[in-house]
Chains A and B, each alone.
Chain A
Amino acid sequence: MPRKAKRTSATTTDEPKIRADALRPTLDLARQIYGQLSLGEIPRMRLPLRTKQNIAFQMREGVWRLGKTMGTRSARKLDGALMLLRTFYLVDFINEMARDNKTSTLRELYYISEGWQEGKFHSEDESNLLVEDLEVLCERLREDFRLHPEENGASVIGDLTIRERNRKGLVKKINCRDDVGDGGYALPSNVEKEKIEFVSSGAKFIVAIECGGMVDRLAENGFDERHRALLIHLKGQPARSTRRFLKRLNEELHLPVVVFTDGDPWSFRIFASVAYGAIKTAHISQYLATPSAEFLGVTASDIENYELPSDRLTDQDVRALQAELTDPRFSTADWRSEIDLMLKNGKKAEQQSLAKYGLNYVTDHYLPEKLTEMGVL
């Protein structure tokens, strides 16, 4: 199949200006606290709250970003005092890494804190949250702090040619259909332009898929080639690099994105973090979210219309759906009726339940029908 419709890459609108002098804000923070201590004030910092009550829709970018409600982290309370102390162990650590020209991973950071005495993290959640706090406070990205996630992002299968500069500095040109094995092209944690350049693509649209089994099913059935689709495996909740990569493809190559997940409350959240931005990373939504992404399914009505084998919603599922009803990202009429319908029917279904009608059903009937309905095909 010939490669055609080469698209040229465009510039991202809001790419953070970084690298140069990346760590100065961290020392400004230290200066701020030192100043408070010298004046006899109780050390404190103000940060925007990262809660679902404090995200606001940004018309310009079309994404949900952090609102204006601020919280205070103060040494008056034990938790606050601990997080302040950890902040400066972290600042010290990343400044040291910069001097030694080293990088580290979030998981390593958790273990490095073993040497921080009182400041030791109790869980990896705590260390991840603190790094995000520092991103917000310093208006920098964790990559600027030389910190990377442990696990790389998703895999890509389809007609996309990229140029990647690898660890050794060599530039490799890779086609994500012809130059890779069955596992596809694995995204590195850094998917920025200096690392990955888009060369060309024969794809017309992107299907972002929750489960690996479904990616394999589509690839085995030749769906990507037949319909000129780029398949991206989300691996559950997508990593930052996956979301960033989707956004770049969407903006630079103008490829529409559809999200294909299980039909349950957790999958709704996967879609929300792709399309609207996750609450925890709302401070960088403009950089990660793809507002034009659309939810393909499995929807609550699919479960009925296609008579899919389903499971009963658990109590936890019901609570998750109810929480979504108060989440501003799901406050549209469409989402409300979808959530209400799922609550009413009390059913959820996996992507794989489509196999009830045979292995080809999803590629021959379900996806073409849905994609036609959505105007993608």
Chain B
Amino acid sequence: MAPARTIAEQLASKQREISVAEFFERNRQILGFDNPQRALLTTVKEAVDNSLDAAEEAGVLPELMVEIAKEADSPDRLRVAVTDNGPGILRREVPNVFARLLYGSRFHSNRQARGQQGIGISAAVLYAALTTARPARITTKVEEEDAAHVLELLIDTQKNAPRVIREDVQIWDRPHGTRIELALKAKYIRGRQSPLEYLRGTAIVNPHARIVLVEPDGTRVTFERAASEMPRIPKETPPHPYGLELGELGYFLKASKRPTVLELLTRDFEGVSPRAAKDVLARAGLSPGATPGSIQGPTQEALLEALHSVPLVAPSSECLSPIGPMLIKRGLRNVLGDVRPEFFAPPVSRPPKVRGGFPFLVEVGLVYGGGLPADQPMQLLRFANRVPLLFQQGACAITAAASNLDWRRYGLEQKGGNGLPVGPVLVLVHVASTKIPFTSEAKEALAEDPDLDKELTLAFQAAARHLKVHISRRSRRSFAQEKFEIIQKILPRLAEKTSHLVDQPIPDLTPVITRIMDVVSLELQLTNEEGPRRAVLEVTNYTSRPRVLEIFLEAPTEILGASAFAPVPEGTDVGMGRAWWTLPKLGPNERAQIVLTFSKGTDVEASDLDWYVAGVDEAHLLGADPLPGDWDVRLPRALIEAAETAAPTDPDSAEGEVDYDAAESEAHVGDDDG
């Protein structure tokens, strides 16, 4: 079932029987104009989606300005203006683009795009006219012309035809671009399902765009551009028979100028080899030389059935435009900067898969900690073809897949192992497809589907595995923090206090400190202040014996290549992304540093730098992992021995002793006095 096209076509065929105003009134809800808040959001969304598509098609980095202002003396009206730096629209196309429903360039194209049906922006124009009786004002300039065309448009609701109210030519101080201004009955809100939320989401998945919002009270919110590469422009591909429906096949057969059906199948469809085409025709009982126009009625059905049953080459994914791991991370970091998340999981971009006849792919970005609320359910940012989905979260296949995963296995709280987990975690999900399986024409939620669900689950799992590693490292760190607090704050005071009471000098605490810690600790500090970015690794031997330690660093090649090291590494292999050092012998409680200085503009997170240590076994290592065996590094004999002989366990750490301060608590309840 492919409702997008068939319903649209049904609607188109009935246009002469019902007026567009009637059509609009009947479909207010699915078109997204059912209340004043919603109408504003939909208007902004349709204009912004069009602007982004247009700029990308022209190969221009999008620059958008969204202005929302109060209308002087009507409190329930707002004025919305969206200006872009797209290629502009030819004068003759303007009336149809903005003031005729079901008119668009992408309706029949088989590639990923934000808008598809060509209803959106004209619906906004119609809504504006119906609620304020004011025309839409379009300013547009193409690069080849010297001046901009300014048109004021209304829709003739009887004929579904544009009416140009006024027209003018004026000088515009930009080489090309389009501006649409509408006055409409609307209400401005902030928070969930608001224009601000929509633009924030848009900025995350479109880091190549710069978006400015001016709110009715004059507040200006800017989402700066975080990436200067354009997304890959998806290639338009011929339709694949797997997604084909009977009506469409009939259309192709009728319109085709190919002499034979064999040629039609191999040239105008994707994935049909001559050999497969022959199989198909044989199965349908058709001669390869038949003319396309001669195939009608039941033979059409036979042909379609044969096309769906013969194995064909899968649809190509060149028509898709994933955001990609690097830009997902940049977009999230750019927009969530004020939340200061402590962890960005490496984003997951799944390879394309096919559903029906349409290729699709799933991307997931995951962010944890920092200012994200720890006692709330996971925040889910859903996107379809780079468009934020703000409504119907509960009814969406993305939510279902996230809820069905057992996040407890990855260190999050989740009641009974289903439902959205609770924790300081935000997950971005992007589904790209030439045909997004929306639950309804309102395009608010994705319909559940086994193939989609499988890809979503795999992507969630991949991101969650990184989260699990992070959470377990973090809990080791908090255990370590407790110990640091003991040795740095409490123990010195205890020594001072008891020495004072017994009137003796304060003893050397080194042996006690190493006994309490009993680890080699690696602490990394990233500094991002004035001047170049630095990472300082401090290695402290909190064990009771001297140690020779070898430190290994693994990091992305582009980071290692942009780093200066002090001291100079004993060896580096930038191609493999590795560098290593042998530290001078560290006695108990002694420390050494390794400083990395990154050249300007290098993007570094603590999670980009993986540290490994040889010379101490895993149980006595904090802030790093032991050197993995597959590094194939030849270690000095002494180091191997040191790592293999586990340190003797502390005699008084014997288990079986009851911790007095943990055992006591239950006794106090309502039992006693003062």
Residues on A lying within 8 angstroms of B by beta carbon are 27, 30-31, 33-34, 37-47, 49-52, 69-85, 88-89, 91-92, 95, 106, 117-119, 125, 128-129, 149-151, 237-240, 266, 269, 273, 278-281, 320, 323
Contacts and interface: CB of A to CB of B under 8 A. Distances in A.
Interface string B407-429: 00000000000000000000000
Given A52-B667, A75-B516, A43 B494 contact: yes
B648 to A, nearest CB: 14
A92 B501 contact: yes
Given A81-B490, A92-B501, A129 B664 contact: yes
B660 interface: yes
* Chain B, interface SS category: helix
Contacts of A266: 670
A47 B667 CA distance: 15
Nearest to B495: A37
Contacts of B668: 125, 129, 280
Given A33-B494, A72-B657, A279-B667, A118 B489 contact: yes
A279 B665 CA distance: 12
A77 B664 CA distance: 15
A72 B659 contact: yes
Given A75-B494, A81-B490, A84-B494, 7 more contacts: A37-B498, A49-B660, A117-B493, A125-B668, A266-B670, A278-B671, A280-B667
Given A44-B652, A51-B664, A71-B659, A106 B502 contact: no
B670 A237 contact: yes
Interface in B596-639: none
A31 B491 CA distance: 16
A331 to B, nearest CB: 16
B509 interface: yes
A91 B659 contact: no
A118 B490 contact: yes
Contacts of B661: 71, 73, 77, 79-80, 83
Given A30-B502, A37-B512, A42-B512, A279 B672 contact: yes
A359 B580 CA distance: 89
Contact of A40 (B493, B498, B515, B667): B515
B660 A150 contact: no
Contacts of A279: 667, 671-672
A78 B660 contact: no
Contacts of B507: 34, 37-38
A85 B660 contact: no
A33 B498 contact: yes
B674 interface: yes
Nearest to A125: B668
Contacts of A151: 674
B493 A119 contact: yes
Contacts of B1: none
Nearest to B653: A76
A338 B15 CA distance: 84
A42 B510 CA distance: 11
A47 B662 CA distance: 13
Interface of B: 482-483, 485-486, 489-491, 493-495, 497-502, 504, 507, 509-512, 515-516, 650, 652-653, 657-664, 666-674
Contacts of B650: 42
29 contacts: A33-B498, A34-B499, A34-B501, A34-B507, A40-B512, A40-B515, A41-B652, A42-B515, A51-B667, A69-B658, A70-B658, A71-B658, A71-B663, A71-B664, A73-B659, A76-B653, A80-B661, A81-B490, A82-B490, A83-B661, A88-B498, A92-B497, A92-B500, A118-B493, A129-B668, A238-B673, A280-B668, A280-B671, A281-B672
A289 B531 CA distance: 72
Contacts of B652: 41-42, 44, 74
Contacts of B673: 149, 237-240, 273, 278
A31 B672 contact: no
Nearest to A281: B672
For the complex of A and B, the 9 pairs showing the least CB-CB separation, nearest first, are A40-B511, A71-B660, A30-B501, A280-B672, A88-B497, A71-B658, A79-B661, A278-B672, A149-B674
A343 B462 CA distance: 52
A95 B500 CA distance: 12
A74 B491 CA distance: 11
Contacts of B662: 77, 79
Nearest to A36: B512
Contact of B502 (A34, A47, A117): A34
A276 B657 CA distance: 28
A85 B516 contact: no
Contacts of B674: 106, 128, 149-151, 239-240
B502 A237 contact: no
Contacts of A129: 664, 668
A85 B490 contact: yes
Interface centre among A80, A83, A106 (most CB of B within 10 A): A80
A269 B668 CA distance: 12
Contacts of A43: 491, 494, 512
A204 B671 CA distance: 30
Nearest to A44: B652
B144 to A, nearest CB: 73
Contacts of B663: 49, 51, 71
Contacts of B486: 75-78, 81
Contact of A30 (B498, B658, B659): B498
A47 B660 contact: yes
